Structure 1
Amino acid sequence: MRGEIRMGWIAFAAAGFCAVLLVAILLLRDDPGEKPYLRVLGGSFIFNYRVSDIYMGFTAVPGKPIPVGTMLVVTFENPSGDTPFVVTRQIGLPDRSISVRSPSMRGVRAGVPYAVTLELRRTGTGEPFWNHAFSISSNIDDDIMPDEPTVIGPGYHRPVPKSD
Protein backbone atom coordinates (compact mmCIF):
# COMPACT_ATOMS: atom_id res chain seq x y z
CA MET A 1 0.00 0.00 0.00
CA ARG A 2 2.78 2.34 0.85
CA GLY A 3 4.39 1.87 -2.60
CA GLU A 4 1.11 2.65 -4.33
CA ILE A 5 0.75 5.94 -2.46
CA ARG A 6 4.24 7.01 -3.49
CA MET A 7 3.57 6.20 -7.15
CA GLY A 8 0.34 8.21 -7.00
CA TRP A 9 2.15 11.24 -5.57
CA ILE A 10 4.91 10.89 -8.17
CA ALA A 11 2.35 10.79 -11.00
CA PHE A 12 0.51 13.79 -9.50
CA ALA A 13 3.77 15.77 -9.14
CA ALA A 14 4.81 14.91 -12.72
CA ALA A 15 1.44 16.03 -14.09
CA GLY A 16 1.68 19.28 -12.10
CA PHE A 17 5.21 19.91 -13.37
CA CYS A 18 4.09 19.32 -16.98
CA ALA A 19 1.19 21.74 -16.51
CA VAL A 20 3.48 24.45 -15.10
CA LEU A 21 5.94 23.88 -17.96
CA LEU A 22 3.15 24.15 -20.55
CA VAL A 23 1.89 27.42 -19.05
CA ALA A 24 5.44 28.84 -19.03
CA ILE A 25 5.96 27.92 -22.71
CA LEU A 26 2.63 29.50 -23.70
CA LEU A 27 3.46 32.71 -21.83
CA LEU A 28 6.97 33.00 -23.29
CA ARG A 29 6.24 32.16 -26.93
CA ASP A 30 6.17 34.87 -29.60
CA ASP A 31 2.73 35.53 -30.98
CA PRO A 32 3.05 35.56 -34.80
CA GLY A 33 0.13 37.98 -35.00
CA GLU A 34 2.14 40.64 -33.15
CA LYS A 35 5.22 40.38 -35.40
CA PRO A 36 5.69 42.92 -38.20
CA TYR A 37 5.37 41.70 -41.78
CA LEU A 38 8.94 42.83 -42.52
CA ARG A 39 11.88 43.30 -40.19
CA VAL A 40 14.64 45.56 -41.56
CA LEU A 41 18.04 43.99 -40.93
CA GLY A 42 20.05 46.96 -42.04
CA GLY A 43 20.40 49.79 -44.50
CA SER A 44 23.17 52.02 -45.76
CA PHE A 45 24.46 54.27 -48.47
CA ILE A 46 26.68 52.62 -51.06
CA PHE A 47 29.39 54.79 -52.60
CA ASN A 48 30.79 53.14 -55.74
CA TYR A 49 33.62 55.48 -56.68
CA ARG A 50 34.67 53.30 -59.64
CA VAL A 51 31.53 54.23 -61.57
CA SER A 52 30.77 57.46 -59.66
CA ASP A 53 27.48 56.14 -58.29
CA ILE A 54 25.74 56.62 -54.92
CA TYR A 55 22.60 54.82 -53.85
CA MET A 56 20.72 53.81 -50.71
CA GLY A 57 19.73 50.24 -49.95
CA PHE A 58 18.43 47.92 -47.25
CA THR A 59 17.69 44.26 -46.56
CA ALA A 60 14.59 42.98 -44.77
CA VAL A 61 13.26 39.55 -43.81
CA PRO A 62 9.62 38.53 -43.45
CA GLY A 63 8.44 38.37 -39.83
CA LYS A 64 5.26 36.54 -40.80
CA PRO A 65 3.88 35.19 -44.08
CA ILE A 66 3.23 37.74 -46.81
CA PRO A 67 0.75 36.72 -49.53
CA VAL A 68 2.40 36.01 -52.89
CA GLY A 69 1.85 38.89 -55.31
CA THR A 70 1.77 41.56 -52.61
CA MET A 71 3.37 44.80 -53.78
CA LEU A 72 6.15 46.35 -51.69
CA VAL A 73 6.34 50.10 -52.31
CA VAL A 74 9.50 51.73 -50.95
CA THR A 75 9.92 55.52 -50.84
CA PHE A 76 13.46 56.88 -50.42
CA GLU A 77 13.95 60.51 -49.44
CA ASN A 78 15.94 62.33 -52.11
CA PRO A 79 19.04 63.95 -50.52
CA SER A 80 19.05 66.70 -53.15
CA GLY A 81 15.57 67.77 -51.99
CA ASP A 82 13.79 66.83 -55.21
CA THR A 83 10.92 64.38 -55.56
CA PRO A 84 11.44 61.22 -53.45
CA PHE A 85 12.45 58.02 -55.23
CA VAL A 86 9.74 55.34 -55.32
CA VAL A 87 10.68 51.71 -55.97
CA THR A 88 8.03 49.00 -56.36
CA ARG A 89 8.71 45.30 -55.97
CA GLN A 90 6.35 42.34 -56.10
CA ILE A 91 6.75 39.74 -53.34
CA GLY A 92 7.33 36.30 -54.85
CA LEU A 93 7.16 32.79 -53.50
CA PRO A 94 8.40 32.72 -49.95
CA ASP A 95 11.20 35.26 -50.13
CA ARG A 96 13.74 34.55 -47.40
CA SER A 97 15.11 38.07 -47.64
CA ILE A 98 14.25 41.15 -49.62
CA SER A 99 16.87 43.63 -50.79
CA VAL A 100 15.88 46.96 -52.32
CA ARG A 101 18.05 49.79 -53.57
CA SER A 102 17.27 53.30 -54.70
CA PRO A 103 18.18 54.82 -58.05
CA SER A 104 21.42 56.83 -58.22
CA MET A 105 21.41 59.98 -56.11
CA ARG A 106 23.48 63.05 -55.25
CA GLY A 107 23.49 65.57 -52.42
CA VAL A 108 24.21 63.11 -49.59
CA ARG A 109 25.46 64.78 -46.39
CA ALA A 110 27.15 63.02 -43.50
CA GLY A 111 25.11 62.52 -40.34
CA VAL A 112 21.79 63.53 -41.90
CA PRO A 113 19.04 60.91 -41.50
CA TYR A 114 17.20 60.26 -44.77
CA ALA A 115 13.70 58.76 -44.49
CA VAL A 116 12.73 55.42 -45.99
CA THR A 117 9.13 54.17 -45.88
CA LEU A 118 7.88 50.68 -46.67
CA GLU A 119 4.30 49.92 -47.61
CA LEU A 120 2.73 46.55 -48.40
CA ARG A 121 -0.29 46.66 -50.74
CA ARG A 122 -2.85 43.94 -51.35
CA THR A 123 -2.84 42.05 -54.62
CA GLY A 124 -5.50 43.29 -57.00
CA THR A 125 -6.89 46.22 -54.99
CA GLY A 126 -3.61 47.96 -54.21
CA GLU A 127 -4.96 48.81 -50.76
CA PRO A 128 -2.17 49.34 -48.19
CA PHE A 129 -2.32 46.97 -45.22
CA TRP A 130 1.05 47.56 -43.50
CA ASN A 131 3.66 50.31 -43.40
CA HIS A 132 6.94 51.01 -41.63
CA ALA A 133 9.34 53.97 -41.59
CA PHE A 134 13.01 54.20 -40.70
CA SER A 135 15.99 56.34 -41.66
CA ILE A 136 19.44 55.80 -43.11
CA SER A 137 22.44 58.05 -42.49
CA SER A 138 25.79 58.27 -44.21
CA ASN A 139 29.16 58.65 -42.53
CA ILE A 140 30.58 60.69 -45.41
CA ASP A 141 29.48 63.45 -47.79
CA ASP A 142 29.18 62.85 -51.49
CA ASP A 143 31.85 65.55 -52.09
CA ILE A 144 34.40 62.74 -52.24
CA MET A 145 32.67 61.17 -55.26
CA PRO A 146 34.38 61.87 -58.59
CA ASP A 147 32.32 63.50 -61.34
CA GLU A 148 33.21 60.77 -63.83
CA PRO A 149 33.95 57.05 -63.46
CA THR A 150 37.54 56.32 -62.42
CA VAL A 151 37.63 52.89 -64.06
CA ILE A 152 36.90 51.99 -67.65
CA GLY A 153 36.56 48.41 -68.81
CA PRO A 154 34.34 45.36 -68.92
CA GLY A 155 31.45 45.69 -66.50
CA TYR A 156 31.87 49.42 -66.03
CA HIS A 157 30.18 52.33 -67.79
CA ARG A 158 32.42 53.95 -70.32
CA PRO A 159 32.56 57.71 -70.70
CA VAL A 160 31.06 59.18 -73.86
CA PRO A 161 33.84 59.74 -76.42
CA LYS A 162 34.62 63.40 -77.04
CA SER A 163 34.23 64.57 -80.62
CA ASP A 164 36.80 66.88 -82.14
Structure 2
Amino acid sequence: MLRRLAILVGLAVSLAACEETTGDYVEVSGGGFLFNYRLAEATYGLVATARRTVPPGTLFIADFENPEGGPPLTVELISREKQRRFALNSPPISNVVADTPYTVTLTLKTPEGAVIETHETTYTSKIGSSVLPEKPLTIGPGYTKNPALEE
Protein backbone atom coordinates (compact mmCIF):
# COMPACT_ATOMS: atom_id res chain seq x y z
CA MET A 1 0.00 0.00 0.00
CA LEU A 2 2.78 2.43 0.96
CA ARG A 3 4.70 1.46 -2.15
CA ARG A 4 1.70 2.29 -4.40
CA LEU A 5 1.34 5.67 -2.71
CA ALA A 6 5.03 6.40 -3.28
CA ILE A 7 4.68 5.47 -6.97
CA LEU A 8 1.62 7.71 -7.38
CA VAL A 9 3.38 10.63 -5.70
CA GLY A 10 6.41 10.09 -7.95
CA LEU A 11 4.22 10.07 -11.05
CA ALA A 12 2.45 13.26 -9.98
CA VAL A 13 5.76 15.03 -9.41
CA SER A 14 7.07 13.82 -12.77
CA LEU A 15 3.99 15.05 -14.62
CA ALA A 16 4.14 18.43 -12.90
CA ALA A 17 7.75 18.79 -14.00
CA CYS A 18 6.75 18.30 -17.66
CA GLU A 19 5.26 21.78 -17.99
CA GLU A 20 7.40 24.42 -19.63
CA THR A 21 8.76 26.99 -17.19
CA THR A 22 10.33 29.39 -19.66
CA GLY A 23 9.31 30.98 -22.92
CA ASP A 24 5.98 32.45 -23.94
CA TYR A 25 2.93 31.85 -21.77
CA VAL A 26 0.64 31.43 -24.78
CA GLU A 27 0.70 30.83 -28.51
CA VAL A 28 -1.88 32.00 -31.01
CA SER A 29 -3.55 28.76 -32.03
CA GLY A 30 -6.50 29.91 -34.13
CA GLY A 31 -8.82 32.63 -35.24
CA GLY A 32 -10.36 34.23 -38.27
CA PHE A 33 -13.53 35.81 -39.59
CA LEU A 34 -17.11 34.80 -38.88
CA PHE A 35 -19.90 35.96 -41.19
CA ASN A 36 -23.36 35.35 -39.71
CA TYR A 37 -25.77 36.01 -42.56
CA ARG A 38 -28.83 35.43 -40.33
CA LEU A 39 -27.81 38.36 -38.14
CA ALA A 40 -26.23 40.35 -41.00
CA GLU A 41 -23.12 40.60 -38.86
CA ALA A 42 -19.39 39.92 -39.22
CA THR A 43 -16.80 39.55 -36.46
CA TYR A 44 -13.31 38.19 -36.16
CA GLY A 45 -11.49 36.57 -33.34
CA LEU A 46 -8.31 35.11 -31.98
CA VAL A 47 -7.72 31.99 -29.90
CA ALA A 48 -4.63 31.62 -27.70
CA THR A 49 -3.60 28.41 -25.98
CA ALA A 50 -1.44 28.24 -22.86
CA ARG A 51 2.06 26.80 -23.31
CA ARG A 52 2.63 27.07 -19.57
CA THR A 53 0.53 28.13 -16.59
CA VAL A 54 -0.83 31.64 -17.02
CA PRO A 55 -1.01 33.47 -13.67
CA PRO A 56 -4.63 34.18 -12.64
CA GLY A 57 -5.54 37.81 -13.21
CA THR A 58 -3.37 38.18 -16.31
CA LEU A 59 -4.96 40.73 -18.64
CA PHE A 60 -5.31 39.68 -22.30
CA ILE A 61 -5.75 42.64 -24.64
CA ALA A 62 -6.58 42.03 -28.31
CA ASP A 63 -6.33 44.98 -30.70
CA PHE A 64 -8.22 44.12 -33.90
CA GLU A 65 -7.47 46.21 -36.98
CA ASN A 66 -10.67 48.04 -37.87
CA PRO A 67 -11.65 47.33 -41.51
CA GLU A 68 -13.43 50.71 -41.56
CA GLY A 69 -10.18 52.48 -40.63
CA GLY A 70 -9.60 54.46 -37.47
CA PRO A 71 -8.33 53.14 -34.16
CA PRO A 72 -8.18 49.39 -33.49
CA LEU A 73 -11.10 47.61 -31.86
CA THR A 74 -9.89 46.60 -28.39
CA VAL A 75 -11.21 43.64 -26.41
CA GLU A 76 -9.99 42.55 -22.97
CA LEU A 77 -10.18 39.32 -21.00
CA ILE A 78 -8.88 38.49 -17.50
CA SER A 79 -7.49 34.98 -17.05
CA ARG A 80 -8.86 32.59 -14.45
CA GLU A 81 -6.95 30.01 -12.44
CA LYS A 82 -6.02 26.93 -14.51
CA GLN A 83 -7.46 28.45 -17.71
CA ARG A 84 -5.75 26.98 -20.80
CA ARG A 85 -7.70 28.50 -23.72
CA PHE A 86 -8.38 32.18 -24.31
CA ALA A 87 -10.84 33.36 -26.98
CA LEU A 88 -11.23 37.04 -27.82
CA ASN A 89 -13.74 38.22 -30.42
CA SER A 90 -14.12 41.62 -32.01
CA PRO A 91 -17.34 43.58 -31.81
CA PRO A 92 -19.38 43.52 -35.04
CA ILE A 93 -17.40 44.88 -38.00
CA SER A 94 -18.21 46.02 -41.52
CA ASN A 95 -16.37 46.84 -44.73
CA VAL A 96 -14.27 43.67 -44.70
CA VAL A 97 -12.51 43.42 -48.06
CA ALA A 98 -11.82 39.94 -49.43
CA ASP A 99 -8.17 38.84 -49.66
CA THR A 100 -6.98 41.76 -47.49
CA PRO A 101 -4.87 40.90 -44.42
CA TYR A 102 -6.05 42.41 -41.13
CA THR A 103 -3.71 42.56 -38.13
CA VAL A 104 -4.53 41.46 -34.60
CA THR A 105 -2.14 42.21 -31.73
CA LEU A 106 -2.45 40.24 -28.49
CA THR A 107 -0.79 41.71 -25.39
CA LEU A 108 -0.57 40.01 -22.00
CA LYS A 109 -0.18 42.23 -18.94
CA THR A 110 0.18 41.65 -15.23
CA PRO A 111 -2.66 42.90 -13.00
CA GLU A 112 -0.38 45.88 -12.26
CA GLY A 113 -0.13 46.74 -15.97
CA ALA A 114 3.39 45.52 -16.86
CA VAL A 115 3.61 43.93 -20.32
CA ILE A 116 4.45 40.22 -20.15
CA GLU A 117 4.46 39.39 -23.86
CA THR A 118 3.02 40.48 -27.20
CA HIS A 119 1.94 38.45 -30.24
CA GLU A 120 0.94 39.74 -33.67
CA THR A 121 -0.86 37.83 -36.40
CA THR A 122 -2.93 38.54 -39.48
CA TYR A 123 -6.19 37.08 -40.75
CA THR A 124 -7.42 37.22 -44.32
CA SER A 125 -10.99 36.52 -45.36
CA LYS A 126 -11.80 34.91 -48.69
CA ILE A 127 -15.09 36.84 -48.78
CA GLY A 128 -16.04 40.42 -48.02
CA SER A 129 -18.85 42.08 -46.09
CA SER A 130 -20.81 42.42 -49.34
CA VAL A 131 -22.09 38.83 -48.85
CA LEU A 132 -24.13 39.94 -45.84
CA PRO A 133 -27.74 41.09 -46.20
CA GLU A 134 -28.55 44.73 -45.42
CA LYS A 135 -30.91 43.73 -42.57
CA PRO A 136 -30.86 40.67 -40.28
CA LEU A 137 -32.89 37.76 -41.63
CA THR A 138 -33.86 36.75 -38.09
CA ILE A 139 -34.30 38.45 -34.74
CA GLY A 140 -34.24 37.25 -31.15
CA PRO A 141 -32.86 34.09 -29.59
CA GLY A 142 -35.30 31.78 -31.44
CA TYR A 143 -34.31 32.92 -34.94
CA THR A 144 -37.72 34.51 -35.47
CA LYS A 145 -38.13 35.84 -39.00
CA ASN A 146 -37.40 39.57 -39.14
CA PRO A 147 -40.78 41.30 -39.66
CA ALA A 148 -39.03 44.23 -41.38
CA LEU A 149 -38.30 41.91 -44.32
CA GLU A 150 -41.95 40.94 -44.88
CA GLU A 151 -42.79 44.21 -46.61
Q: When the two structures are superposed, what TM-score results if normalisation uses the length of structure 2? A: 0.78
The structure where helix makes up a greater share of residues is 1
Give the superposition deviation at 1:144.
Answer: 1.0
CA distance in 2, matches of 1:158, 1:75: 34
Deviations 1:116-152 (A, max 9, x none): 00111111x2111211100111010111111101124
Instruction: State the Cα RMSD in Å.
Output: 2.2
Structure 1: stretches of 5+ with no match in the other structure: 1-28
CA distance in 2, matches of 1:30, 1:96: 12
CA distance in 2, matches of 1:135, 1:78: 12
Select the residue among 121, 136, 146 that pairs with 2:123.
136
CA distance in 1, matches of 2:71, 2:60: 19
Give the superposition deviation at 1:32.
Answer: 3.8
The structure where strand makes up a greater share of residues is 2
Amino-acid identity (%): 33
Structure 1 SS opposite 2:87: strand
What corresponds to 2:76 in structure 1? 88
The structure-2 alpha-carbon separation of the partners of 1:73 and 1:154, relative to structure 1 and needing over 3 Å to count, comes to closer
- Equivalences, count: 131
**Alignment of 1:147 onto 2:134:** yes
What corresponds to 2:22 in structure 1? 33
Quick check: which has more Rg, 1 or 2?
A: 1
The structure-2 alpha-carbon separation of the partners of 1:69 and 1:150, relative to structure 1 and needing over 3 Å to count, comes to same
